Amino acid sequence: MSLDLSLTKSEEMLKSTTLDFLEREIPRETLEALLDSDTGTTETILKKVADIGWLGLIIPEEYGGIGYPLTTAGVLFEALGSWPLPGPYFSSGILGSQIVMEAGTEEQKQQLLPEVATGNIVLTLALTEPEYSWDPEGVKATASSDADGFVLNGVKLFTPDAQAATYFIVVARTDRGISLLVVEKKTAGVKLRRLPGFLAGRTFEVTFDSVKVPSSALLGTMDEGWKALEKAITRSIPVLCAYKVGGCQAIFDLALKYSRERVQFSQPIGRFQRVQDMIIEMITHADAARWTTYEALWKLDTQQPMAESVHLAKAVASEAYWQVCTLGHRVFSGVSYSMEHTVSFHTRTSRHLYNVLGEPSYHRQQIAARLLS
């Protein structure tokens, strides 16, 4: 067997430089401001992270990226999740670039990917709609083609990072199928509204009201966008899971430390069996998320059959992040209800990310179908 679960040298280095960067560039007050902002980032930060390669990490070298495997992206996003750093880095650098890779023509890849890597353009996927669904049947938005290109109509709901993005990858119905269109945010007829709610994250309602886009906006082949999109989503999911793994591990580490230091009834609370049980539950959630995630990444990187693994990782990691946050609040109790407490940061993030790219129930159903077929 060649079993080896350690990080490579370059992954170790990426991890430590990332944590150093966060320590240096994203102090607590900055993080709070970012979490409350509409974009989750700033021009300056975006420029800096592009410079150190986060946005082009998995984009092949020929398109201006570094060309790392997905596992390496997992290591990066685990570090980001530990903070938890918000921002459109996943939406653009991972999911966006993967959609372009899977769906785009050679010309489009050449044109878009280097721009994604430098942060000059920021992509986000606009897929779900008022009738929330991750299946193609959920797509009701239409793109009718005319001589000049397309006219786009519809509402995209729960669209993440819409304010930070400069371009949307819009999933829309065309004559005989589903197509992907790259639409600039500032096009006339595009309207954004951030969804209110403490746990809604930075998700938006994006309305397309007779939006005219040129023919060149069509990503790849007409009517055949869904398959490419599905593949790109599948490849991206475990990287998002790694972000949650980072969150789980960070809360566990914090709670473990707190349980050793916080004294109640004249002893560290970690001495109490009830607190121990929470700690044990937390690390088991965190480990379950970690290893399902990295196995899925490994399978993707080594071109093995992996559909079940990806669904597994998303189902497990989303649930784990949710539960670890809830348990974190129970270990910390009162102090963790502060908006400025790290557990609160994670709770808000975990609730929002629970649904992004499919909530556990969706992925569980995919697993059920595969187990019975």
Partner 1 sequence: MDFSIAYNREQEAFAEEVRAWLDENIPEGLKNTRDVLKMSREQFLLRRELSGKLGRKGWLYPEYPAQYGGGGMGADSSAVLYKECADRGLSIPPHYDSGKLAAPTILVCGTEEQKERMLPPIFKGEVVTWQLFTEPEAGTDEANQHIEALRSESDRDCFIVNGGKIFVGGLYAPPDQFLLLTRSDPDAPRHQNLAMFIAPADLPGIEILPLDLFPPGTLGQTCYTAGDSAPGVKHSVFFDDVRIHDSFLIGGDRDGWKVATATLTVEHGDRSGTGTGGVSRGGVYIPQNVLVEKILDQCKNNPNVRKRLEKNPHLQDTMVDIFIDGQIERLLATRNAGLSRSGIRAPYAGPQHSLFLKMFGTALTAKMARLLGPYAHTDDEEWGLADDLFEVSQRSGVCVAPGGTPEALKIVISRALRIGR
Q: Interface residues with its own copies (CB under 8 A)?
A: 272-274, 277
Q: How far is CA 310 from CA 144, 233, 298, in A?
A: 34, 10, 11
Q: Give the one entry of its own copies, partner 1, none that residue 5 binds, where binding means its C-beta sits below a cut-off of 5 to 8 angstroms depending on kind.
A: partner 1
Which residue type sits at 73? A
294 lies in the site for partner 1, by CB under 8 A:
yes
Tokens of 78: 């685990």
Nearer to its own copies, 24 or 274 (CB): 274
Residues in 326-345 at the binding interface with partner 1, rule: CB under 8 A: 326, 329-330, 333-334, 336-340, 344
Does 268 bind partner 1 (CB under 8 A)? Our answer is yes
Tokens of 200: 């809604």
Minimum CB–partner distance for residue 182 and partner 1 (Å): 24
- 147 scored as a contact of partner 1 (CB under 8 A): no
Which residues, at least 6 apart from 52, have a Cβ–Cβ distance to it below 8 Å? 17, 21
* Binder of residue 321, out of its own copies, partner 1, none (CB less than 5 to 8 A by kind): none
The one of partner 1, its own copies, none whose footprint includes residue 91, by CB under 5 to 8 A per kind, is none
Say if CB 222 and CB 299 are below 8 A apart.
no
Q: State the minimum distance, in angstroms, from the CB of residue 86 to partner 1.
A: 16
One of 325, 342, 349, 357 touching partner 1 (CB under 8 A)? 325
Q: 29-68: which residues touch partner 1 (CB under 8 A)?
A: none
Contact pick of 54, 208, 298, 321 for partner 1 (by CB under 8 A): 298
What does the alpha-carbon distance between residue 129 and residue 205 come to, in Å, rounded to a whole number? 9
Pattern 222-261, partner 1, x by CB under 8 A: ----------------------------------x--xx-
- Minimum separation from the CB atom of position 287 to partner 1 (A): 6
Nearer to partner 1, 97 or 318 (CB): 318
DSSP string computed for 83-122: TT--STIIIIIIIIHHHHHHH--HHHHHHHHHHHHHTSS-
Indicate the DSSP class of residue 201.
-
Number of residues forming the site for partner 1 (CB under 8 A): 83
The three-state secondary structure class of 235 is helix
How many whole angstroms separate alpha carbon 329 and alpha carbon 275? 12
Q: Is residue 120 a contact point for partner 1 (CB under 8 A)?
A: no
Q: How far apart are CA 72 and CA 277, in angstroms?
A: 33
Residue 272 vs 291, nearer CB to its own copies: 272
**Residue 359 binds which entry of partner 1, its own copies, none, with Cβ cut-offs from 5 to 8 Å by kind?**
partner 1
Residue placing its CB nearer to partner 1 in the complex, 188 or 196: 196
d(CA 188, CA 210): 9
Task: Please name the residue that has the structure tokens 């020929």.
Answer: 62
Stretch that binds partner 1, among 22-30, 50-58, 96-104, 311-319 (CB under 8 A): 311-319
CB of 258 to its own copies, least distance (A): 18
Q: What minimum distance in Å lies between the beta carbon of 89 and its own copies?
A: 42
Residue in 90, 79, 86, 15 with CA at minimum distance from that of residue 247: 79
**192 burial class (0-12, 13-18, 19+ CB within 10 angstroms)?**
middle
Burial profile 224-254: b = 16 or more Cβ within 10 angstroms, e = fewer = bbbebbeebbbbbbbbbbbbbbbbbbbbbeb
Residue 31 or 269: the one with the smaller Cβ distance to its own copies is 269
Among partner 1, its own copies, none, partner that 199 touches (CB below 5 to 8 angstroms by kind): partner 1
